[in-house]
Amino acid sequence: MLRRLVVAGVLCGVLVGCSGEVRSEPAPSTPTSVSDTAAQEAAVAEAFAAYRTAVLAKDGQAVAGLLTAESIEYYAAIKKLAMTAREPYLRQARVSDQLVVVKLRTSVPAENLRRWSPSRLVVDAVERGDMNSASVQRMSSGEVDVAGDIGTVQLKVDGHDSPLSFTFYREGGRWKFRLIPLLEATETALRARMQEQHITERRLVDDQLAATLTPEQIKAGWLPTG
């Protein structure tokens, strides 16, 4: 069930699988005091609540403002793929990238895709409901841990503990959601599904696309928009 939750909650426009260069994580620093740690843990919990609320409300501007700079850069990499990658090249990308790029091409007009900034793509995805608010609704905050500028929120699903977590970074004095670890978990979940069902990568991608798109949309989705 948790594997299905990861796939359902993160795919379909959340833009999974980073194609570009990923920055290294900042080195944790030692908290100054127990009280400071408690205050930062509360701040991370508040950041999680704000992100969850924004997704459920389909408030794209708020969600974009709660993402780390690295997360926004990820959307820039996906935009480049959507504009330039032909099917043979895209088929060599990560499973999650393939799904997201085809979905993006069928959801956003080519003119908008060319002129929109990565942040604007985030806003549009949230407003269209591509961040799967139904799955986010099932998530709540569990234990919160802070190590310097890195905060981790263990997720509860339907009120029960789960192995899933959200990572937050402190940027400019604010705690922001780091998308990359969740994207990596999604890719792992997709590949686990391939092994469990004994299917090829191509079959998994084609089945996922066929579940939500028409044959005409899928055909168009494999064509670059640039």
Query: Mean pLDDT of all residues in the chain?
Result: 87
Query: Quick check: 211 pLDDT over 50?
Result: yes
Give pLDDT, residue 94. 92
Percentage with pLDDT > 70 across the chain? 85
| pLDDT, tens only, 69-97 | 999 999 999 999 999 999 999 999 999 89
Contact present, 30 and 89 (Cβ < 8 Å) = no
Helix (H) or strand (E) holding 34: helix 34-56
pTM of the complete model? 0.81
Question: DSSP labels for 75-111?
Answer: HHHHHHHHHH--HHHHTTS-HHHHHHHHHHHHHS-HH
Domain coordinates in residue numbering, the chain: 2-11+33-138+179-221
Provide the pLDDT for residue 26: 52
pLDDT at 133: 72
Separation CA 93–CA 97 (nearest Å): 6
- pLDDT (tens digit per residue) in 118-130: 999 999 999 998 8
Report pLDDT for 89: 98
